Structures are given as structure tokens and as C-alpha cells.
Structure 1
Amino acid sequence: MQKILSLLRRCVEDYDMIQPGDRVAVGVSGGKDSLILLTSLARLAKFYPAPFTVEAFTVDMGIPGMDFSQVDALCQTLGVPFHRIPTQINKVIFETRKEKNPCALCAKMRKGSLHEALLDHGIHKVALGHHYDDAVETFFLSLFYEGRLSCFHPVTYLDRTDITQIRPLLYVSEAMIRDTAQRLHLPVVHNPCPANGNTKRQEVKDLIASLEPRYPKLREYVFSSMQRLPLPAWEPKALRRRPKTE
């Protein structure tokens, strides 16, 4: 866990993600990524020189069998307020609209519910659990399916809602998150969504895995090129301070 905490802190500082007095919401789906993010930020808040507080927000999509009581218990252990947002997203998508490609609409509805809850609580900063592998996969998704070099930003300000999104796990690999979540016995909530795993992202994940035996530094080279090109908003503070050469 110490390694993840170190990488998370470096990412926070590289992109100026947290300022003194911030109330930082963590979008907690119940998956390993968001639980590691929640645990790490709660620990960072205890000693970070810029004082901030952490609160957990879970959008409950109304999927039968999903129980967040253990997530609530984890939040109590961490001393973090837990907010469950009840919705009927599952019913709307799969019963009312019967979407064949539900992921985009689901993401939009979850985002809307989360942002509404944040504003109701007077919170304007939310941490999302995207990690190192997510960034590389998103780069390839944009290239293959949109024909452009792009990725989500480490820090994104949404002017329509006055909410800032931060992604503090960008330096942390999925393998490290998975191993740490198992070692800490975090209460991962299984997502029984019918579309889970059957996505273009999974196709790209499988493609990268098939290329890595031949190109073992593929992820590392893609990620570093995103910072050094750089993609918009991806240049870390250390490179911004470095003198530009002709």
C-alpha cells in the first residue's frame, strides 16, 4: 500500500490536483479501483501538507444483488462519510429502453446522478478511479475508433457544473491495484451488469495483452509519450518547469 500511496501523492503533486481546504468526493463503484482510491486518499489526508477531507459517494444503479453495506463499513473504519445515491438506472436502461449498447447511456446517467449529489452536498471536486492501464487503453480506443490522439485529462474542470474531476491513480498499474486490494481484503462489490466485460475497452485490453510479449514496454512508452508530446493537459509539473530546447 505504501508504494501506491507514494505514486498517488506524486500524481497529485505533478498535476496540482488538491488545494488546501478541498472537500474531495470519491466516486465509489465498489470495484477494486475505487476502493483503493478511497483508501489511499483517506490515508493521504492524514498527513498531506495541504489539508483536505474525503467523502465517499456511491451511485446505486438498482441492480439486484449489489450490496454496499461492506463499503459503508469500510468508510466507517477509514473515518470517511459514506453517501449512497439510490437510482433506477438499471431499470431504465435494461427494462424500459432495452438498450443493446448500454454503456454510454449508463455512464452519462451515473455521471449526472453523481454530480447532482455532489452539488447538493456543496462539493465541487471529485476523484475518479482511472489508473495507468485505463489511460493507455483510452489512448488506443481514441486512435482506433475515433481516429485521433486523445485521452481523458488528469484534471478536468466542468464549467457547466463547476465540478473538477481528478484522477490520482494515473501512475498506479491495474496489477498493483488488484494485488493490493486482495492483500487488504477490501470489500469489492461484484457488478452483475449484463454488459460487463463485453465492450470495446475489453477488446483493446486483450489486444495490448497480446502485443506485450513482443513489446514488453508498450504501456510504458505510450504513457510517457502522452506526457511528453504532450497531449492536452497531460504535461506534468516537472516537465513544465524544464527549459524548452530549440
Structure 2
Amino acid sequence: MSRTSGLSHLHRGLISRVDKAIREYRLIEPGDRVLVAISGGADSIGLLTLLLDTRYLADWRLELVPVHLHMGFREPDHEGLRALREYIQRLGLQLRVYESQIGPLAHSDFNRANPCFLCARLRRQRLFEIADELGCNKLAFGHHRDDVIQTFFLNLLYSREISTMVPKQDFFGGRFYVIRPLYYVDKGWLQRFALEQGLPVFDSGCPSTGHTERDRIAARVRELTRGDPRLYENIFKALHRVKLDYLPRQIPGGFR
């Protein structure tokens, strides 16, 4: 009997896509100790669950270290954290919780124009510090395919560059790697999976939720691709078929 025979069609499909990303981009290698950043949302809790499933089914040799960094938007959700701790304990792991005031700092008066950028940067910086303390060489984030597409448009329209999130990215000369095992997974699938599995999802309390540039880009992408699901898939695939010969390049010695 197959090890996946008792799993739902959605569950098996998600495991397959996570395994595909791991194999194609060598996200995981023997002996890795991976910090899994758990925000409390469906994406990150689903990521931890699927990494454990994939580790078991594919016999990946790695150690997973789930970490929740409280952002300080409000008092900790003790009930939500209790449910999350219990869930992770049932998975055979221990959740580590760290306090911070990153959220209020990023949303303070001096930075109201762009709180999300500073918040994400400070959060990642703190997670690198925690990874170093815990002896982790990789950090797994719950970014999914929707995030990849939205980041492409955000960078195109607001940063005037053609770039996006990548499945694997090194920092500090390869001392740490950020990996995104949900690279091939759509957000909608993760939301369905959270409902199906009864994942203990809770809200971070971020006041910008639903009002960010990313939220506005997400709405525009939905409008752009509405009625033809091929368009969404085509945008993602286009990121892997870049024809540099058909993009302008500065010619050395050319006139300005």
C-alpha cells in the first residue's frame, strides 16, 4: 500500500509540489538544520506540515526547527499560541517563541510611508540572528506562487526592475540560505488545506493587513487573469523563460 493512500487528493498534490521544488532547486541537502518561520497563518503552518510529510515520504535527512517571532502588534494571542504549540507537539516538534517590537517600530510615525518593507527586513534580520543562535543553516519561509507573481509586479511597477522571489537565496556568503518550498503552490490550495486539516491558524494583528501595495497588486492580478486560468500560469512560467537577447542593454561606449 502506498504511504500516501490515506491522504486526500489535495494533500498528495501539495506534497508532490513541495517535493518538486526541493528536488529541482536543491533546497534541502543531507544534514541541514532548517528554521521554519511560523507566523501563525495558513501558509507557514501548512509549510511545516508539508515539510514533515515530504521528509517522511522522500526520506529527506534534515532537522526542522519551528520558530514563531511575535511582532508586538498587540499582546500575544495566548490561546492561538497554545493551540499552535499543541499542534506542533503532535507533529513531534517543539515550537520556540521569541518576542519583539518590530511591528510597532515599522508602523511608527517616522515610517508610515512604507511600513511593510521595514517590517519584513527587520523580521528577516531577527530570524537570521535566531537561526545563528540555534545552529540553523537554512530558513524556510511560507512564500508561495502567488507571492512570486505579486513580487514580480511590485518590483516592475514600484522598483523599476524585473525581479522576483527565488526558491533558494544565499546570504552572508552562503552562511545562510533562505528557501521557499511552497514555490509551486498556490495560496488557494494552502487555504483549502488549512480548512481540511484544521490547522490552528491565528491573526498577527498587523494593522496594514488588507491595505498594502501587495494587496492592491494581488487584486489587479486577479482582475487581469479573471476568466482564463491559463494567464496566471503563463505569468509564472514566463519568469522561467527570460530571453535576454530581446531586452535592452546598455552598449559600452554608446551615446547617452
Q: Does 1:2 align with 2:12?
A: yes
Q: Of 172, 177, 183, which residue of structure 2 is paired with 1:170? A: 183
With over 3 angstroms needed to count, the CA separation of the structure-2 counterparts of 1:37 and 1:81, relative to structure 1, is: same
Larger radius of gyration: 2
TM-score, normalising length: structure 1: 0.87
Partner of 2:57: helix, strand, or coil?
A: coil
Counterpart amino acid of 1:142? N
- The answer as to 2:239 corresponding to 1:229 is no
Residue 5 of structure 2 aligns with which residue?
none
Match in the other structure for 1:17: 27
Q: Does 1:62 align with 2:109?
A: no
1:103 aligned to 107, 116, 137, which one? Answer: 116
Amino acid at match of 1:182: L
Which amino acid in 1 is paired with 2:95? F
Which shifted more, 79-88 or 198-207?
79-88
Q: Cα RMSD between the aligned structures? A: 1.9
Runs of 4 or more above 6 Å deviation? none
Q: Return the alpha-carbon distance in structure 2 between the equivalents of residues 91 and 223 of structure 1.
A: 34
Contact 2:106 2:116 in 1 (8 A): no
Unmatched tracts of structure 1, length 5 or more:
232-246
Alignment-derived partner of residue 135 in structure 2: 122
One-letter code aligned to 2:209:
N
Q: Of 43, 50, 59, which aligns to 1:40?
A: 50
What is the Cα deviation at residue 101 of structure 1?
Answer: 2.8
CA distance in 2, matches of 1:26, 1:102: 24
Residue 179, structure 1, aligned to residue 192, structure 2: yes
> Following TM superposition, by how much is the alpha carbon of 1:88 offset from its aligned partner in structure 2, in angstroms?
1.8
Identity of aligned residues (%): 32
Q: Which amino acid aligns with 2:45?
A: L
- SS of alignment partner, residue 23 of structure 1: strand
Distance 2:107 2:212 in 1: 16
Structure 1: how far apart are the matches of 2:233 and 2:104? 40
Q: Kindly state the Cα deviation for residue 209 of structure 1 after the two structures are TM-superposed.
A: 1.1
2:163 equivalent in structure 1? 150
Structure 2 CA distance for partners of 1:75 and 1:94, relative to 1, 3 Å: same
